[in-house]
Amino acid sequence: MPAVLQAQVADIADGYRSTLVLNIITLCVCIFILHVHDETTWASLAWFGSAIVVIAARAYAMQALTRRGALMSAPKGSLTILSLGALALGLIWAALPWTVANFEPLGRHAPLFLMMGGMAAGSVIKQIGYTPLALNYSIPILISLMINLIGIWRLNEVLVGLCLSLMIFVFIRRSIWAENMFVSSQVARHEATALADSLTRANSDILRQNSRLEALANRDTLTGLANRMFFHGRLAGDIARATVVKEQVALLIFDVERFQSINDTLGHSAGDALLREIAARLSFIVEDGSLIARLGGDEFAVVVSGPEALERARAHAAAVLEASRRPIHWHQRQAVVGLSVGLAAYPDHADDAEELLACADMALYDAKRGDRRQLREFDPDLRRNAERKRIIEQDLERAIDTGSLGAWFQPQVDLMSRRITGFEALVRWQHPQLGFVSPPEIVNAARTVHLSEQLTARIAGDACLLARRLPALGLKDVTVALNVSPREFALYSVASMLHRVTAAHDVDPSALEVEITEEAILDPALADEQLKQLEQAGYKLAVDDFGMGHSSLAYLIGLKVDRLKIDRSFVKDVARSETNQKLISAMVSLGQSLSLEIVVEGVETPEDAAILARLGCGTAQGYLFARPMPPSALDTWIAEHQPTADLKRKAKAKHLSVA
């Protein structure tokens, strides 16, 4: 294993210099002892010189190997070179006894003997990492001593020599054992390090995966903002903290206006880019550490905590709304995208996170109903309204089915003769708990819970019932009008539904009139086909609340509308408003030039009726003549009203005949 060889070389290199220095010192001591005993010879001097040369060579070799980095890159070769150096020095030490005359290891040369033996033993102890090196050095010395001892052939020397041979044997074994120990400890250390490394790697892998999973779980992948789950956790946490430190938590919810239609018309990638841009703007504006999250779709939230949370939330909302006036650029397009904002605060409006979210939602819902780009703060009325709305939505279907919801009828009369010309069906619902529920509330709830078709079918059914009764009540050619909100055209086929209902009641379509507001005409693509179908089927068509929108005249002509119903706001107090008189007069002229009948609604006083008659309005509807009434009240009203009109007509006829 290269790592073990490297450790062996490192073990040798460590303290190599001190080993050589020790050798030099010992050599010097030896030569000094010889000198003191006057035993210095040319041979011993040569011995000393060659020993110094070998030591210098070993020092140089070690330096060269270190410099080239060979110790680590080529540990095996380095070990060979160093072992050869050790062998050379060991041989030189072994030669020492032969440089003096009559070497007496246990006599006068005992110091030399001790020093040689000490050097040999020291080398084995020192170089435990790599046996060849220690043995190369020590074995020649020990063999030399053994030969010199036994060669004297005296009892003491022979015994010591034999002990020495035993020692050589022990040295070799011990040395090999020590190397094995060293190698196995190195292998174990290496394995432990490798294991620790792989554990560290595995651990950091796990940590990385963990943080990726955490990001996936907490982040919205499209915008990089916090997602709904993280938002819920944070909101609950902030509220818990605010409870302890007696602070507020404010919650803002933003909604992008008309996002669905942008998505539908420009495509999803444009929608995505738009959401990303909005997220970027939010992050740019809200930089006080408040949490910004995308709750899904086009809904974003900001949780503002800490001191003056409510004020800071208001400031954020104002800044975001201000920024939303600047056009957003994406995919080489640009558009101004309106935002609505709902705001609610804990503990002012709610007791917990869930309720706070519901409050902010209610505020947002209310904001969306108003002008674009507005902030709405929660107030308790909103909760009451929302609760009312919830009950209406919940009970609507049963009310339609059981008939507790149905049409009341308001008569329409000829302004000159006061003859009854028609009735308008208006939805009425007396809720057992809520009392009177207004028609717009009913119509909106029906749309929310997908009951628009059932609702209109119910009113149409009631209108048919009346239409069938009218001839018996002495009223012929009298139409019954029903309201169809323009948005219904997008939900189902009004013509097919009416066909079903009229067929079931055996009523001719010409007995019914469909009132639609100008709104429908604003979206021709939506209404075009359906209005044509209605007209072809024979229903009369009326444009309701005329004057409030921006009807396309060309479209009105193309549609063959029968009547224009001038909006109540022009009719109210018309006797006192010259402007309204002028406006109505203009609308009447328009109607005449398009051959459309004009109906005025909301006529409350005789003065107004007189002016309207003078301005050329033909038909009128209003409290002056009758309030909307239940079908059961109609018979009496018709009986009371009709005779007068008939009498008047008879009187008029009589007057003419007399004349």
In the complex with ligand C2E, the residue whose CB is nearer, 47 or 408, is 408
Report whether 330 contacts 273 (CB < 8 A): yes
In whole angstroms, the minimum distance from the beta carbon of 508 to ligand C2E comes to 21
d(CA 520, CA 534): 14
Q: Where are the alpha helices (DSSP H) in 74-130?
A: 75-99, 110-126
Which amino acid is present at 434? L
Instruction: Kindly provide the b/e burial profile for residues 149-174, where b requires at least 16 CB atoms within 10 angstroms of the residue's own CB.
Output: bbebeeeebeebbeebbebbeebbeb
Nearer residue to ligand C2E within complex by CB, 280 or 426: 426
Exposure class string for 481-511: b at 16+ Cβ within 10 A, else e: bbbbbbbbbeebebbebbbebbeebebebeb
**Does residue 141 come out as left (phi exceeding 0), alpha (psi in the -120 to 50 range) or beta?**
alpha
Q: Which is nearer to ligand C2E, 284 or 623 (CB)?
A: 623
619 binds ligand C2E (CB under 6 A): no
**Assign residue 545 a region: left if phi > 0, alpha if psi is -120 to 50, beta otherwise?**
left
Q: Of the listed pieces 214-222, 277-285, 327-335, 478-486, which binds ligand C2E according to CB under 6 A?
A: 478-486
Q: How far apart are CA 63 and CA 462, in angstroms?
A: 113
From ligand C2E, Ca ion, none, interface partner of 426 (C-beta below 5 to 8 A by class): ligand C2E
623 scored as a contact of ligand C2E (CB under 6 A): yes
The footprint of ligand C2E on this chain (CB under 6 A) covers a number of residues equal to 23
Helix or strand holding residue 481 (H, E): strand 479-483
Which segment (38-46, 199-207, 263-271, 617-625) binds ligand C2E by CB under 6 A?
Answer: 617-625
Q: Decide if residue 448 touches ligand C2E (CB under 6 A).
A: no
Interaction of residue 616 with ligand C2E, rule CB under 6 A:
no
End-to-end CA distance of the chain: 138
> For the chain, how big is the Rg over CA atoms in Å?
55
Give residues 630-659 in contact with ligand C2E (rule: CB under 6 A). none
Query: Which of 308, 518, 601, 640 is labelled catalytic?
Result: 601
Structure tokens at 304: 């503002």
CA distance 504 to 499: 8
How many other CB atoms are found less than 10 A from the CB of residue 235? 23
Residue 443 binds ligand C2E, judged by CB under 6 A = yes
Known catalytic membership, residue 597? no
Within 529-548, which residues bind ligand C2E (CB under 6 A)? Answer: 544-545
Residue 638 has which token pair? 């018709």
Residue 227 near which of ligand C2E, Ca ion, none (CB within 5-8 Å, type-dependent): none
Nearer to ligand C2E, 161 or 406 (CB): 406
Cis peptide before 97 (omega within 30 of 0): no
DSSP letter, residue 219:
B
Residue 111 interacts with ligand C2E (CB under 6 A): yes or no: no
Binds 120, which of ligand C2E, Ca ion, none (CB < 5 to 8 A, cut-off by type)?
A: none
272, 277, 299, 604: which one binds ligand C2E (CB under 6 A)? 604
Exactly one of 111, 122, 233, 439 binds ligand C2E (CB under 6 A); which one? Answer: 439
- 602 binds ligand C2E, rule: CB under 6 A: yes
Residues 120-149, interacting with ligand C2E (CB under 6 A)? none
CB of 269 to ligand C2E, least distance (A): 37
Compute the half-sphere exposure of residue 634: CA atoms within 13 Å on the CB side of its CA: 27
Select the binding partner of residue 443 from ligand C2E, Ca ion, none (C-beta < 5 to 8 A, by kind): ligand C2E
Give the x-and-dash track for 486-525 against ligand C2E (CB under 6 A). -----------------------------x----------
- Residues annotated as part of the active site: 601
Interface residues toward ligand C2E, by CB under 6 A: 410, 426-427, 438-440, 443, 459, 483-485, 515, 544-545, 568, 601-604, 621-623, 628
